[in-house]
Amino acid sequence: MTQDTPQTPEEENEETRVTDKRRIDPETGELRYPAPEVDQGTEELSEEDLSILEEAERDLVGEYRERAARAEAELANFRTRVERDRQANREAIIVEVIRSLLPAVDDLDRADAHGDLAGTPLELVAQKIRQSFERYGMAPVGEVGEAFDPAKHEAMVRLPSPDVTHDTVADVIEVGYLLGEKLVRPAKVAVHSPQTEDN
């Protein structure tokens, strides 16, 4: 015969307690809301832990701000590049169209120099073409008396002259054109060069 171990007064008062921590109700199959609290042995964070967390949060915010600023700068650079490429493409197309018209303009200029355009309908056509060129920023290159510039002039003839101290345009054989800073066609010129003892 076994004898029961006598219980202490504390054990007699202690009740068995069961906590159902399941988030889904086994009877209804629904999510329990609010979810049952799980006793995780909550302990408060120390001041040092809190300061570490705050510093980590500041670092993270700073990193995301830096990333956002970098992305914004990259987007601005991309827009600038696209706009620059669009402008360069536009200018290239204008230059090609103008180059295709230059032989006709040269013929009109030669006819005008001989007085063949005066009082004819072609005089009006020549004026309109020149005005269109000016509207796009086209400027003629090559004038008698200006300093010779190999970046804008193409020397067809060189003539020694005692009257000049540096290479100077003596005559314009074919007018050149600039579109803004871009050279569409160099001017073909005759050049007076300083006379040396050899000449």
What CATH number is associated with residue 105?
Answer: 3.90.20
93 lies in some domain: yes
The tally of domains found in the chain comes to 2
pLDDT at 181 over 80: yes
Same-domain pairing of 98 and 143:
no
Q: Indicate whether 4 belongs to any domain.
A: no
Task: Answer yes or no: do 108 and 142 share one domain.
Answer: no
Closest by Cα among 180, 158, 179 to 169? 158
Instruction: Let me know if residue 22 belongs to a domain.
Output: no
Q: Output the pTM of the full model.
A: 0.55
Whether residue 1 is contained in a domain is answered as no
Q: Are residues 113 and 153 in the same domain?
A: no
Q: Is residue 29 part of a domain?
A: no
The answer to whether position 154 is within a domain reads yes
The answer to whether residue 34 is domain-embedded is no
Residue 30: inside a domain: no
Q: Is residue 132 located within the same domain as residue 60?
A: yes
Tens digit of each residue's pLDDT (9 = 90 or more) over 134-174: 888 888 898 998 999 999 999 999 988 888 889 999 999 99
The answer for residues whose C-beta is within 8 angstroms of residue 146's C-beta and 6 or more apart is 168, 169
Model pLDDT, residue 62: 85
> How many Å apart are CA 86 and CA 95, to the nearest integer?
14
Side chain identity at residue 131, one-letter code: Q
- Choosing from 96, 111, 136, the residue where a domain stops is 136
Same domain for 128 and 183, yes or no, is no
Give the distance between the most distant pair of CA atoms in the chain. Answer: 147
Same domain (yes/no): 99, 157: no
Q: List pLDDT tens digits, range 22-66.
A: 777 777 777 766 544 545 544 577 888 778 888 888 888 888 889
Q: How confident is the model at residue 130 (pLDDT cuts 50, 70, 90)?
A: confident
Q: Write the pLDDT tens digit of every residue in 81-105.
A: 999 999 889 888 888 888 898 999 8
CATH code assigned at 169: 2.30.22.10
188: Cβ–Cβ under 8 A, 6 or more apart, which residues? 142, 153, 154, 156, 172, 173, 174, 176
For 176, the domain range is 138-199
Residue 124 and residue 57 share a domain: yes
Residues 132 and 163 placed together within one structural domain of the fold: no
Q: Which of 86, 114, 136 is the last residue of a domain?
A: 136
Q: Where does a domain end: 136, 159, 186?
A: 136
| Confidence bin at 192 (pLDDT 50/70/90) | very high
Do 126 and 57 share a structural domain? Answer: yes
Question: In the chain, what is the straight-line distance between the N-terminal and C-terminal CA atoms, in Å?
Answer: 146
105 and 73 in a single domain? The answer is yes
- Asked whether residue 85 falls in the same domain as residue 142, the answer is no
What's the pLDDT band for 196 if we cut at 50, 70, 90?
confident
Smallest CA-to-CA distance from 185 within 111, 120, 109, 87 is with: 109
